[in-house]
Amino acid sequence: MRTHLCGELRTEHAGAIVTVCGWVARRREHGEHLAFVDVRDHAGVVQCVVDNSIDVRSEYVVRISGTVRARPDGTVNPNLSTGEVEIGDATVDVLHAATPPPFPIDERADDVDEGVRLQYRYLDLRRSRMQRNLRVRATVNSAVRRAMEEQGFVEVETPMLVPSTPEGAREFLVPSRKEPGSFYALPQSPQLFKQLLMVAGVDRYYQIARCLRDEDLRADRQYEFMQLDAEMSFVAQDDVLDAISRAVLAAAEAVTGERPPEIERMTWRESMERFGTDKPDLRFGLELVELTDAFAATEFKAFAGAGTIKGICVPGAAAAHGRNQLDKLTDRAKQLGAKGLVWLRVADDGALDSPVAKFLSAAESAAVVERTGAAAGDLVLIVADEWATTCDVLGQLRNDFGRPPVFHGPYRYVWIVDFPMFVGTDDQGRPKPGHHPFTMPHPDDAHLLGRDPMAVRSQAYDLVLNGWELGSGSIRIHDTTLQRQVFAALGIDEAAADRKFGFFLNPFEYGAPPHGGFAFGLDRLVALLAGEENIREVIAFPKTQSGADPMTHSPQPVEPALLDQLGIRMLPRRT
RNA sequence: GGUCCCGUGGUGAAGUCUGGAGUUCACGCCGGCCUGUCAAGCCGGAGGUCGCGGGUUCAAGUCCCGUCGGGACCGCCA
């Protein structure tokens, strides 16, 4: 039907008789016998010179034949990859006349209401930006598959209809027709199955897996999302990190053409101390500065007795922060959980301008200036609180002040390792698992499980890119004795463990190999590599924030007969 | 469950704070002119339940209440 793609024609094709197919992007009329018609396909746009009597309009589907020729001097369009050529004396075959689209099929639609774009997603996707995003996604999928297969991973598909499990994210339920009143769940991840594949001796499993979680949507969260899911037997943490690193870096290289440097590693503790978060954005400084010891003997009441005192120095921010802005910053810090926020502006003469300056000794003031590196015109913000609160609040303020849009280069990948085994406590005072209850403790800390569980680190790890959590994984407990100890630390007795997790752990009795794995979100990686800050832009048919699809009008009510068959009766709507 | 922003011809905006005739700008659409444009240009034209419902008022796009839709975030996402 065609000999070339619109976007691939160059001067080397001059003289060739070609046929292209596509959509009319634009028509420019110049009199009775001359019009330019730009024809667009997924590869790009090419200008065709036609007689003005031909009736083609925006988005008509056409097949155009003619001779490729260099454009006359002075008419080259440097903004177009095909801008040095045109198809001359073109004959036009209208394959389908089109109604004018509701919005322009070009970059101007970037500003169109997203609900409208989603209602006409098939038109939105016709645009070059969206075509590029779809293809970036395909490139990432392909590169990831190749990288995993080269490392001996075997692709295994796992079921979409799985049992409901009490832990973790809210699930989507699927009613059973054969057994009314019973339900399947859609998988939030293939966790159970991939570990059983290790028991089965698959050794290295991977899957580009669809996962579903019925939690509220965000710019980086959809009900349905794709993960590179992997699990490996007879490995230590480093082996998993290496294997996943290869896949991620291969994907990045396939998209950008450049091999990123090896992914650095940072302990969770260091990340919290320096960046106040477990997903640090390493593209900018503004690191948290330790001040606790400098105020060990302070008489300033707000600092005395505080667990941890830290500060950040925002260069040049003093002038832009009058009392109003500083009050707002203080409110923000309180909203984030701090008791308060101490601010100091460095005056031109180096003096500290702050309501608390008079409470600080000369040595304390000097220490603040020296450690934060504050200079004239800088703004220093200090939080004194429990360690976790201090880090968290300053980490958020650091992001507020310094964080570029997520897609701005450079790409800074980092593995966060040595997460705490337990984070916080539940309503009955029992430790809660930081990752999940099958995570292997750090070998140096396992002996602390009984005595001081909160001090135990785990072999869990996260992959972070530019402040976005791409994914997480862990080495799993394969030994039933150790698993019992962890359950004990979690306050789960043997009967409860068997009730809650028996279906999962009993198979281990038949010989579970040491194993560990990882899963990372492909939507997020693709968005970052495509330069998008919203994963909806890299998903062909996403849902809105309220979980609806304006194109298909889902979700929808169904016929009562359908519900009868499933044994389901509607309750009256709550008002 | 909560906080905030947005909703005005097909599209994007201005008008809303401070009520006074559906007013304005750009794009698109329809018709005409036009032989080298490329967001072509020029002339003319059509196109509206100001998201929806209620209230206040002599008068509501504008003020108040409710509701629906879209977005950002908190909670939530072991």
pLDDT, tens only, A424-466: 877 777 888 888 899 999 999 989 988 888 899 999 999 999 9
Place of tokens 């699927």: A174
Nucleic chain B contacts, protein chain A, residues 314-343, CB cut-off 7 A: none
Residues with Cβ within 8 Å of residue A32, at least 6 apart in sequence: A52, A53
| Token pair of A176 as six digits | 């059973």
- Is strand B within 7 Å of residue A278 (CB)? no
Got the DSSP string for A122-176?
HHHTTSHHHHHHHHHHHHHHHHHHHHHHHTT-EE----SSB---SSSS---EEE-
What pLDDT is recorded for position A401? 87
Instruction: From the CA of A542 to the C1' of B25: give the distance in Å.
Output: 34
A319 touches A346 (CB < 8 A): no
Provide mean pLDDT across the span A235-248. Answer: 97
Tens digits of residue pLDDT in A89-126: 899 999 999 999 999 999 999 999 999 999 999 999 99
| Residue nearest B6 (alpha carbon to C1') | A113
Q: What is the pTM of this model?
A: 0.93
- Is strand B within 7 Å of residue A174 (CB)? no
Tens digits of residue pLDDT in A200-229: 999 999 999 999 999 999 999 999 999 999
In this prediction, does ipTM exceed 0.95?
no
- Would you say residue A243 has pLDDT above 70? yes
Nucleotides, chain B, CB distance < 7 Å: 1, 10-13, 27-30, 33-41, 69-78
Closest C1' nucleotide to A76's CA: B38
- Would you say residue A409 has pLDDT above 80? no
Tens digits of residue pLDDT in A248-275: 999 999 999 999 999 999 999 999 999 9
- Is strand B within 7 Å of residue A89 (CB)? no
User: Whole-number mean pLDDT of chain A?
Assistant: 93
| Closest alpha carbon to A236 in A513, A565, A549, A456 | A513
Buried b (16+ CB within 10 A) or exposed e, A374-401: beeebbbbbbbbeeebbbbbbbbbbbeb
What pLDDT is recorded for position A575? 45
Q: For residues A307 and A142, which has the higher predicted lDDT (pLDDT)?
A: A142
Could you tell me the CA-to-CA distances from A431 to A231, A268, A377, A424, A525 in Å, in that order? Answer: 27, 18, 45, 6, 32
Provide mean pLDDT across the span A7-34. Answer: 95
What pLDDT is recorded for position A330? 85
| Closest alpha carbon to A425 in A361, A480, A490 | A490
Q: Which letter does DSSP use for residue A277 in this model?
A: S
Q: With pLDDT > 70 as the criterion, what percentage of chain A qualifies? A: 99
Instruction: From the CA of A108 to the C1' of B22: give the distance in Å.
Output: 27
Closest C1' nucleotide to A167's CA: B78
Residues with Cβ within 8 Å of residue A329, at least 6 apart in sequence: A321, A341, A343, A381, A397
Nucleic chain B contacts, protein chain A, residues 417-456, CB cut-off 7 A: 432-437
pLDDT band, very low/low/confident/very high, at A532 (cuts 50, 70, 90):
very high
Residue A294 backbone dihedrals phi, psi, to 5 degrees = -70, -20
- Is strand B within 7 Å of residue A405 (CB)? no
Closest C1' nucleotide to A36's CA: B37
- Would you say residue A231 has pLDDT above 90? yes
What pLDDT is recorded for position A328? 80
